Every structure is written in C-alpha cells, then in structure tokens.
Amino acid sequence: MKKLFIYSVVVLALVFPVSAQNTTQNTATPQITPVFQGIDQGTRERVREEIKARRDELKSNIKGTRDEFKVNIQERRAELKDLIQGKRETLKEQLQKVKDERKKAAVERIDARLDELNERIANHFSNVLDKLENVLERIASRADKAEEKGLDVAAVRTAIDSALKAIEASRTAVQTQAGKTYTITVSSENNLRVDVGEARQALHSDLVKVREMVKAAHDAVRQAAVILAQIPRVNEAETLPVNDGQNNSNQ
C-alpha cells in the first residue's frame, strides 16, 4: 500500500500547473495610427464587423472542439468498461497460480488503481487545456482591440493559430490516453514485482508523452502572450478610444 501511494505521488508529479509568466514589454513608443483613419464610414463598419466575426468564430470553434472532445472521452470510457472488466477476470484466473492471498489482493488493488490514476490525470490534462483555451481567447480579444487602434498584430495572429493547433494535438493525445487500460500479466508468484512493475512503467511512459504534448500547448499559448506583450503601446491601445480619423472641434 505504501509503495503504491509513493508511486501515485511520483506519477502525479508529472502534472504541471499552468503558471503565470512575466514578460518584458518593449519600451518603444511609436505613434498609434488608428486603422480607420481616412476611411469612410461604410468601410469602417465593415472592418469592425470582420474583426468581430473573427472573434466570434474563434469562440465558436473553441467551444465546438471542447464539446466534441468531451463526447469522445465519454464514448471511449464507456467502451473501456468492458475491456477493464474482461482484463480483471483474466487477471483473477492468472492469480490462481499465486498461493499468497495477500499478494493476490494487492495485485488486484494495484490493477484497479492504475486505471483510476490514468483517468484522474487525463481529467487533469483536460482541465489544463480548457484553461489554456480561455487564456488564448483573452489574448485574441486584446489583439482585436489593438488592431482596431492601428497596431500590427499579424505575429500575434500567427502565434494564436499555432497555439490552437498545439491544443488540438494535445486533446487528441489526451483522448487516446483516456481510452487505455494497463494489463498486469502474471508469470509466477516469485515474479509478481516485475509483472506489476511492467504495467506501472507502461502507464508512466504514456503519461510522460501526453504531458509533453500538453506542455507544448502551454508553451505555445505563453508565446502568443509574450508576442502580444511585446507590441509597443499595446496596453495603451486597449484604453484609448477608437479615433476614426475625424477631428472633433468645439462649435
């Protein structure tokens, strides 16, 4: 029991928090030129609508991908129940060659907890990806505001697209992982430690791979945030009113 607890702690240590990162903002202060300056009213409205449509499309795509992911996870876990049940029946048969009842019970507990641990960490990774998408939405919203004020956000748009692809790849990896189970194949009573260790190592190796995918998504979102923060006067652009290029004068 104690060894299993220690192993669980080690595996859970694979999970990393999504932490805030400090970024250094460019101190250059070029003039902000409103994107609507010198443009007629009809064109201004069209540009605003295009920016809004892009923002709405991003939100819709993120929600759609997230909803589809959750449905797929549920389907995989429903299919997994039969596999796990069959695996445990096979394990009981294999454990007939083990005379020590305490060892039998311990192996069965470990078998069940490997599946529980895999499900728990897959859920955690899923939650991390949800949070990353929320952060990315906020980055995109700030980029929209900066674009309306005439700032060049092309690099941010590219970084956002890269982050979305990294998150999508991570969701695929998490979805695949959620549908896995790990089989303890009993060779002999004297070799139980090795038999159990092989199943543990298989789970550990797979979780490391998924963790790296999620970390890549985390880094991609962070990169988008860094690029946004490095745009000169981006924070000022968020607070300035949109100047349509028409000077107001006192009558």
For 171-198, how does the pLDDT look when each residue is reduced to its tens digit (9 = 90+)? 999 999 999 999 999 999 999 999 999 9
Q: According to the model, what pLDDT value does residue 247 have? A: 42
Q: What is the 3 state secondary structure string of the chain?
A: CHHHHHHHHHHHCCCCCCCCCCCCCCCCCCCCCCCCCCCCHHHHHHHHHHHHHHHHHHHHHHHHHHHHHHHHHHHHHHHHHHHHHHHHHHHHHHHHHCCCHHHHHHHHHHHHHHHHHHHHHHHHHHHHHHHHHHHHHHHHHHHHHHHHCCCCCHHHHHHHHHHHHHHHHHHHHHHHHHCCCCCCCCCCHHHHHHHHHHHHHHHHHHHHHHHHHHHHHHHHHHHHHHHHHCCCCHHHHHHCCCCCCCCCCCC
pLDDT score for 48: 76
Among 121-130, 191-200, 235-244, the minimum mean pLDDT is found in 235-244
pLDDT value at 21 more than 50: no
pLDDT band of residue 37 (cuts 50, 70, 90) is: low
pTM, full prediction: 0.77
Give the model confidence (pLDDT) of 209-236 as tens digits.
Answer: 999 999 999 999 999 999 999 988 777 6
Query: What was the pLDDT predicted at 94?
Result: 95
Which of 120, 126, 117 shows the shortest CA–CA distance to 72? 126
User: What band does 54 get if pLDDT is binned at 50, 70 and 90?
Assistant: confident
Confidence of residue 163 (pLDDT cuts 50, 70, 90): very high
**What pLDDT was estimated at residue 72?**
92
- For residue 137, pLDDT over 80 is answered with yes
Tell me whether residue 151 is exposed, middle or buried, using C-beta atoms within 10 angstroms of its C-beta: 0 to 12, 13 to 18, 19 or more. buried
- 15 against 201, higher pLDDT: 201
Contact 110, 87 (CB under 8 A): no
Average pLDDT over residues 43-68: 83
Report the pLDDT averaged over residues 130-155.
91
Q: Is the pLDDT of residue 18 over 60?
A: no
> What is the tens place of the pLDDT at every residue in 75-97?
999 999 999 999 999 999 999 99
Q: How is the chain split into domains, by residue range?
A: 41-239
Given a contact cutoff of 8 angstroms between Cβ atoms, the answer to whether 192 and 186 are in contact is yes
